[in-house]
Chain A
């Protein structure tokens, strides 16, 4: 008897290789129910492959995937009833009307005929598609097509929704709609989305999973990731005075303070500096007081706010492996189909 409420997605030591190239190398992660998770990684990191394996479309070479406790490999039928999937590039039939398409998909997803009509109205409303419901999909603009794909994914109200780059090709207004839409699913459905638009992920997702070369390189909430991956707090300082004496002053404030980069003094003698400390708490005020006490002239002091982008770049560049330290080296990566 499985756990009464197993996690929505459990991936355990997943491996998938294509003709000699490893797309996914020993990937393990868990997604709790109702969580919205962002899936990040550079191109060819294995995001789409992982998502396809999660849906049961592609078989894995080894490892197990469980959706709500059902194994994808041995119970594909049960798993397909639990997921809503929107593939990369959102393929849609060209010569169907939007409402016809949703009706057809709803029937395939075994929504009873009686409930299907109201449910289609509901998702059309949610995705702001009411105006185009009788249009032919092939004539719709990219933004509308993308929303038809999202409407299709949430149509059967599955507990797990997997979307591969849902916001690609949308204008900022539409991205806002999609973000609200996904946020509206929070708590009811588990959503896993991949995206290249990092601020998007940061705003919508409870947790972020960064993968590179088929392995998890970092995971956690955006805030935790910043701390973990960058490992330090950065400050920017524009100051004039005895620059040579500055390191000693910083040491006095906090022993781990270091100057990471220092610019050239400008015409008025001010120098731009970047400082870093391993401590996470606020050092702005003591630093400022120390500087003024030493007769430094301060023009600006700010605590840097690293974006998810910085985290992403740092994590993927170093292929840093804190979550799975005992793994063999990743195989040489090549272009992954």
Chain B
């Protein structure tokens, strides 16, 4: 892990000098701001049950679907397309260090972008003077959920990027995998055929992997170690597969 920090600082610097980062950040904040104003408008019309933070974070999957593929599709696919992975892997760095460096840089950017949305709540707080609008429980729970689930989502994006040398293919793959995890899990959880007794273990597994129910628990302030384990083990698995994928492409090239 000697080179991890070198690689990470290199990746972060490359992100900071790249215009696409700023375009993505602007688009993300614009989109989230749009959602946030929409939520506030609905509060002005009628009293609502949930705090704005809960509603705001419940739309997490929308930015995840387009931001994560955009942030991660470049990382390994680009290296392979340009051939720079060859010069990179012939220095004393390991594939693990390369994948972890790229993953960490993408994750840091992802969390930073979400962190920037804290500004919305700060503005709301300084202008509304209504403590009911700003319930700290769901707010903290929401951000913890974003940080923890982001580990897995970004890892899936990195894995997709390791599968193809074409950025567009990597991006679409990441989108499909994330959609399968988030929407597909919910759909399977509601599917009738899984309710049969024979399939009870499968049903239990699907219920365990429900991203939306994890989200509900987090915003209620329940930080369940089972959920944490789900995201941590999923992240580890996706990263291990990414490392294997990079190495397998060398062996079978």
| Cβ B90 vs Cβ A110 within 8 A | no
Tell me which residues across on chain B come within 8 A of A109, comparing CB atoms: 91-92
| Cβ A87 vs Cβ B14 within 8 A | no
Interface string of A59-73 (1 = CB under 8 A from B): 100000000000000
A99 to chain B, nearest CB (A): 13
Given contacts A94-B82, A95-B17, contact A55 B6 (CB under 8 A): no
Alpha-carbon gap, A16 to B18, bound state (A): 40
Q: Is B2 an interface residue (CB 8 A)?
A: yes
Among B177-212, those with CB < 8 Å from A are none
Q: Is A107 an interface residue (CB 8 A)?
A: yes
B227 to chain A, nearest CB (A): 37
Q: Most chain-A Cβ atoms within 10 A of its Cβ — which of B2, B82, B84, B86?
A: B86
Q: Is B10 an interface residue (CB 8 A)?
A: yes
Contact of B6 among A94, A96, A104 (CB under 8 A): A104
Tell me which residues across on chain B come within 8 A of A58, comparing CB atoms: 250, 253
Alpha-carbon gap, A77 to B17, bound state (A): 32
Given contacts A59-B251, A95-B14, A96-B14, contact A87 B83 (CB under 8 A): yes
B68 to chain A, nearest CB (A): 22
Tell me which residues across on chain A come within 8 A of B250, comparing CB atoms: 57-59
| Cβ A81 vs Cβ B92 within 8 A | yes
Q: Is A38 an interface residue (CB 8 A)?
A: no
What's the count of A-B pairs with C-beta under 8 Å? 60
Tell me which residues across on chain B come within 8 A of A96, comparing CB atoms: 14
Alpha-carbon gap, A57 to B7, bound state (A): 19
A306 to chain B, nearest CB (A): 36
A106 to chain B, nearest CB (A): 10
Alpha-carbon gap, A57 to B6, bound state (A): 21
Among A77-103, those with CB < 8 Å from B are 77, 80-81, 83, 85-87, 89, 91-96
| Cβ B91 vs Cβ A87 within 8 A | no
Tell me which residues across on chain B come within 8 A of A77, comparing CB atoms: 92
Q: Is B118 an interface residue (CB 8 A)?
A: no
| Cβ B2 vs Cβ A110 within 8 A | yes
Q: Is B89 an interface residue (CB 8 A)?
A: yes
| Cβ B89 vs Cβ A108 within 8 A | no
Tell me which residues across on chain A come within 8 A of B6, comparing CB atoms: 104, 107-108
Minimum CB distance partner of B247 in chain A: A59
Q: Is B48 an interface residue (CB 8 A)?
A: no
Q: Is B87 an interface residue (CB 8 A)?
A: yes
Q: Is B125 an interface residue (CB 8 A)?
A: no
Minimum CB distance partner of A52 in chain B: B86
Given contacts A57-B250, A109-B92, contact A89 B83 (CB under 8 A): yes
Minimum CB distance partner of A92 in chain B: B84
Q: Most chain-B Cβ atoms within 10 A of its Cβ — which of A18, A59, A92, A108?
A: A108
B136 to chain A, nearest CB (A): 41
| Cβ A87 vs Cβ B92 within 8 A | no
A107 to chain B, nearest CB (A): 5
Tell me which residues across on chain B come within 8 A of A105, comparing CB atoms: 87, 91
Tell me which residues across on chain A come within 8 A of B62, comparing CB atoms: none
Tell me which residues across on chain A come within 8 A of B90, comparing CB atoms: 55-57, 80, 83, 85, 87
Alpha-carbon gap, A55 to B7, bound state (A): 21
| Cβ B92 vs Cβ A110 within 8 A | yes
Alpha-carbon gap, A80 to B7, bound state (A): 17
A316 to chain B, nearest CB (A): 25
Alpha-carbon gap, A92 to B17, bound state (A): 17
Contact of A108 among B83, B91, B251, B253 (CB under 8 A): B91
Q: Is B93 an interface residue (CB 8 A)?
A: yes
Contact of A91 among B14, B87, B91 (CB under 8 A): B87
Alpha-carbon gap, A109 to B2, bound state (A): 11
A117 to chain B, nearest CB (A): 16
Tell me which residues across on chain B come within 8 A of A104, comparing CB atoms: 6, 10
A48 to chain B, nearest CB (A): 10
The 4 tightest CB contacts between A and B, nearest first, are A91-B83, A108-B91, A80-B92, A107-B6
Can you list 30 A-B pairs with a CB-CB distance of less than 8 A? A52-B86, A57-B89, A57-B90, A58-B250, A58-B253, A59-B251, A80-B90, A80-B92, A83-B90, A85-B87, A86-B87, A87-B83, A91-B82, A91-B87, A92-B82, A92-B87, A95-B14, A95-B18, A96-B14, A104-B6, A104-B10, A105-B87, A108-B7, A108-B91, A108-B92, A108-B93, A109-B91, A109-B92, A110-B92, A152-B87
* Chain B contacts to A: CB under 8 angstroms: 2-3, 6-7, 10, 14, 17-18, 82-84, 86-93, 250-251, 253
Beyond A87-B90, A91-B83, list 12 extra A-B contacts (CB 8 Å): A55-B90, A57-B86, A59-B251, A80-B90, A80-B91, A85-B90, A87-B83, A96-B14, A105-B87, A108-B88, A110-B92, A152-B87
